[in-house]
Chain A
Amino acid sequence: MRSRRRFCCSVLAAVAALLVGFPPGLAFPQGTRGGTITFALYQEPELLNRYIGTQTALSEVTTFIVEGLVDYNEKGEFFPRLATEIPTRQNGGVSADGKSITYHLREGLKWSDGESVSCEDVKFTWQAVSHPKSGAAYTSGFRDIERVECPSPTTVVVVYKTFYAPYLDQFTRGILPKHATGDPAEMTRWAYNRKPVGTGPFALLEWVSGDHITLIRNRFYRDSPKPFLNAVIIRVTPSREVGTQLIKTGEVDIVWDLIEANVPELRPVPGVKIGAAPGPNAERLLLNLADPALDGPPAAEVAKRPHPILGDVRVREAIELGINKQEINEKLLFGLATPGTNELHIGWAKCVTRVTEYSPDRARQLLDQAGWKNGPDGIRVAQGAKFAKDGMRLRLKLQTTTGNKLREQVEQLLIDYMKQIGLEFYIENVPSPVLFGSWSSGAFRKHGQFDVVMYTTNPDADPHSQIEGYFASWKMPTAANGGDGFNYARWSNQVADDNIKLAGSSADLSVRKKAYCAAMDEVVKDRPHIYLYGRSQIHGYRERLQGWVLNVWTNVGWNAQDWSLK
Chain B
Amino acid sequence: MAAYTGRRLLQAIPLLVLISLLVFVLLHLIPGGPMAAYGNNPNMTAADFARLEHDLGLDAPVHVQYLRWLGALLRGDWGYSLASKRPVLVEIGDRLPNTIYLLSISLAVTLGIAIPIGILSAVRQYSVLDHAVTTVAFAGQSVPIFWFGLMLIIVFHVVLRNPISGAPLAPGGGMYTLGEPFSLLDRLHHLILPVSMLAVVGTATYTRYMRASMLEVIGQDYIRTAHAKGMPARRVLWHHAFRNAAIPVVTILALEVPVLFNGAVFTETIFSWPGMGRLFIESAFRYDYALLMAIILIGATLTIVSNLLADIAYAYLDPRIHYG
Which A residues have a C-beta under 8 Å from some C-beta of B? Answer: 19-20, 22, 36, 38, 44, 46-47, 52-55, 132-133, 135, 137-140, 188-189, 193-194, 208-212, 214, 231, 233, 235-239, 242, 245-246, 248-249, 251, 430-434, 436-441, 443, 455, 457, 459-460, 465-466, 469-470, 477, 481-486
A544: min CB distance to chain B, Å: 15
CA–CA, A441 and B47, complex, Å: 15
B22: min CB distance to chain A, Å: 21
Given contacts A36-B179, A194-B86, A437-B33, contact A485 B40 (CB under 8 A): no
Closest to B32 in A: A433
Q: Determine if B85 and A47 form an interchain contact, defined as CB atoms under 8 angstroms apart.
A: yes
CA–CA, A436 and B94, complex, Å: 31
Residues of B within 8 A of A22 (CB): 165
Q: Determine if B269 and A437 form an interchain contact, defined as CB atoms under 8 angstroms apart.
A: no
With an 8 A cutoff between CB atoms, is B240 at the interface?
no
Q: Determine if B53 and A188 form an interchain contact, defined as CB atoms under 8 angstroms apart.
A: no
Q: What would 19 more interface pairs be, CB under 8 Å, given A46-B286, A211-B274, A438-B35? A: A188-B85, A208-B274, A210-B278, A210-B282, A211-B175, A236-B272, A249-B158, A249-B168, A251-B172, A431-B31, A434-B36, A436-B39, A437-B31, A457-B42, A465-B42, A481-B46, A482-B46, A483-B46, A486-B42
Residues of B within 8 A of A433 (CB): 31-33, 36-37, 39, 287
Residues of B within 8 A of A211 (CB): 174-175, 272, 274
Which B residues have a C-beta under 8 Å from some C-beta of A? Answer: 31-33, 35-53, 55, 59, 80, 83-86, 91, 94-95, 98, 153, 157-158, 164-165, 168, 172-175, 178-179, 268-270, 272, 274-275, 278-279, 282, 286-287
Q: Determine if B84 and A47 form an interchain contact, defined as CB atoms under 8 angstroms apart.
A: yes
- Which of A36, A53, A251, A486 has most chain B Cβ within 10 Å? A251
A85: min CB distance to chain B, Å: 26
Residues of A within 8 A of B39 (CB): 433, 436-438, 443
Q: List 16 A-B contacts (CB under 8 A).
A: A36-B179, A46-B85, A47-B83, A47-B85, A53-B83, A135-B52, A188-B80, A209-B95, A210-B275, A210-B282, A238-B272, A246-B173, A433-B39, A438-B38, A460-B42, A485-B46
Q: Determine if A465 and B158 form an interchain contact, defined as CB atoms under 8 angstroms apart.
A: no
User: Which of B32, B84, B173, B286 sits near A434, CB closer than 8 Å?
Assistant: B32
Which 7 A-B residue pairs are closest in the complex by CB-CB distance? A433-B32, A210-B274, A436-B39, A484-B46, A433-B36, A209-B94, A46-B83
Residues of A within 8 A of B46 (CB): 439, 477, 481-485
Residues of B within 8 A of A193 (CB): 84-85
Residues of A within 8 A of B85 (CB): 46-47, 52, 135, 188-189, 193
CA–CA, A55 and B282, complex, Å: 14
CA–CA, A47 and B87, complex, Å: 13
B28: min CB distance to chain A, Å: 11
User: Which of B42, B83, B272, B286 sits near A459, CB closer than 8 Å?
Assistant: B42
Main secondary structure of the interface of A (DSSP, over half): loop
Q: Determine if A209 and B53 form an interchain contact, defined as CB atoms under 8 angstroms apart.
A: no
Residues of A within 8 A of B32 (CB): 431-434, 436-437, 441
Residues of A within 8 A of B53 (CB): 438, 440
Q: Determine if A54 and B38 form an interchain contact, defined as CB atoms under 8 angstroms apart.
A: yes
- Which of B43, B48, B270 has most chain A Cβ within 10 Å? B43
A206: min CB distance to chain B, Å: 11
B295: min CB distance to chain A, Å: 14
B129: min CB distance to chain A, Å: 38
- Which of A189, A484, A485 has most chain B Cβ within 10 Å? A484
- Which of B41, B269, B272 has most chain A Cβ within 10 Å? B272
B165: min CB distance to chain A, Å: 6
CA–CA, A115 and B22, complex, Å: 51
User: Which of A233, A443, A466 sits near B42, CB closer than 8 Å?
Assistant: A466
CA–CA, A300 and B151, complex, Å: 61
B91: min CB distance to chain A, Å: 7
Q: Determine if B282 and A44 form an interchain contact, defined as CB atoms under 8 angstroms apart.
A: yes
Residues of B within 8 A of A248 (CB): 158
Given contacts A46-B84, A52-B85, A135-B52, contact A441 B33 (CB under 8 A): yes
Residues of B within 8 A of A214 (CB): 178-179
Q: Determine if B43 and A140 form an interchain contact, defined as CB atoms under 8 angstroms apart.
A: yes
Closest to A139 in B: B48
CA–CA, A477 and B43, complex, Å: 15
- Which of A20, A236, A238, A455 has most chain B Cβ within 10 Å? A238
CA–CA, A371 and B83, complex, Å: 52
